Amino acid sequence: MNPIAEKIYEIGIVPVIAFNSVDEALPLCRALSEGGLSAAEVTFRTPCAEACIRLIHKEMPDMLLGAGTVLTVDQADRAMDAGASFVVSPGFDPVITRHVIEKGGIAMPGTSTAGEMQQAMNLGCEAIKFFPAEANGGVAMLRDIGAALKGARWICTGGINITNLRNYLDCDQVIAVGGTWMCRCDAIKAGDWAQITAACKASVDTMLGLHLAHIGINSKNEEEAAATASLLAGLLNMKVTPGNASIFVGKREFEIMKQPGRGRNGHIAIGCTNVDRAIYHLSRRGVRFDPDSKKVQNGHTTFCYLADEIGGFAIHLLRD
Ligand code: 3PG
């Protein structure tokens, strides 16, 4: 995928915004960024879209900026000139799509049928928008189409919110979801930036699904491991399942290492929906990772250690 689509994939959620005035542009984008989402699709539904894109691009160059609701070639040109890295339309318009690609831009036309998707892909779109997602059959529709259009990569918008975003992101061909749920018109009008930041944070947390997966405990040798496993199993009335390098207790809540493993005392595994996305978002919060520890299986990053221990425990992410 192109670097813009890669970035959208890492961020995972793209807020779709209709600005009422240029004055809202920077405080709103700061609120999004503080909530973990430094991406915005600024829609040409309001007349100040171009000016907002220009200002955000200049003052907040780290924001990944797209132009949305682009209905004409002229709007596409103005958006790209103002600094939009990608151009989104609600529907599939081959003229706009071709024009953006010929100018070296990234076009993400809205599509809702296999026919439109196929045409957009053949014009050179690496990521296409599925819109309006819920009204068009949602993720079930995409899974059916995806079985045939294996190269399709979608950004889904329309009816998506914190309650259903995981259904979409669970589908391997969906690179991101987007929508207005984090920045509702009334919150923007009221300048309620704190509410917008909180909605972004909650959405990022839901997307990542971080949770305690298991605790690994180091032992000097197999005998010590067996003793630890039996004590924990007795305490919690859990079963013991021997493995090769470790002994598992319960439904793998505990992994008792037969030798000293990574971490002074052991390790803590944090489960998540997508390790790459978790690395991106946690890095923004100051967490450091050990990239050499990354494991990839069937095209998915499944595992990565944090650089630092906590309380004598190495910490690793684990794909659910
Ligand atoms: C879009 O342009 O992508 C949609 O307006 C977003 O849809 P939503 O308002 O249902 O989130």
Q: Whose CA is nearest to atom 5 of ligand 1?
A: 158
Hey, what are 267's tokens?
Answer: 């390790």
Cβ-in-10-Å burial (0-12, 13-18, 19+) of 261 comes to middle
| pLDDT digits 0-9 by tens, 89-125 | 999 999 999 999 999 999 999 999 999 999 999 999 9
Atom of ligand 1 at shortest distance to CA of 43?
Answer: 2
Tokens of 69: 């609701």
What's residue 282's pLDDT? 98
The protein residue with its alpha carbon nearest to ligand 1, atom 11, reads 179
The pTM for the full model equals: 0.94
Residue reference for tokens 């990944």: 64
16 Cβ closer than 6 Å to some ligand 1 atom: yes
Q: What is the pLDDT of residue 191?
A: 95
Question: Nearest residue CA, atom 9 of ligand 1?
Answer: 180
With both helix axes pointing from N to C terminus, report the angle between 3-11 and 275-284 in degrees, rounded to the nearest 10.
80
Centroid of ligand 1 to alpha carbon of 179 (angstroms): 4
Crossing angle (nearest 10°) for helices 73-82 and 94-102: 30
Q: Are 23 and 194 in contact (CB under 8 A)?
A: no
Phi, psi at 158, each rounded to 5° = 105, 95
Question: Ligand 1 centre from 88 Cα, in Å?
Answer: 11
Q: Which letter, b or e, does each residue of 28-64 get, where b requires 16 or more Cβ atoms within 10 Å of its Cβ?
A: bbbbbbbbbbbbbbbbbeeebbbbbbbbbbeebeebb
Closest Cα to atom 4 of ligand 1? 158
Atom of ligand 1 nearest to the CA of 161: 11
If one counts every other C-beta atom within 10 angstroms of the C-beta of residue 299, the result is 6
Cα of 6 vs centre of ligand 1, distance in Å, is: 21
Q: Which residues are part of the catalytic machinery?
A: 41, 129
- The CA distance from 99 to 108, in Å, is 12
User: How sure is the predictor about 245, in pLDDT bands with cuts at 50, 70 and 90?
Assistant: very high
DSSP 87-142: EEESS--HHHHHHHHHTT--EEEEE-SHHHHHHHHHHT-SSEEETTTGGGTHHHHH
Average pLDDT over residues 133-157: 97
Task: Choose which residue among 14, 155, 180 to substitute to test ligand 1 binding: the one with the highest number of ligand atoms within 8 A of its C-beta.
Answer: 180
Q: Mean pLDDT in the chain?
A: 97
**Between 1 and 30, whose confidence is greater?**
30
d(Cα 116, Cα 91) in Å, to the nearest integer?
A: 9
**Segment 32-59, tens digit of pLDDT:** 999 999 999 999 999 999 999 999 999 9
Distance CA(66)–CA(33), nearest Å, equals 15
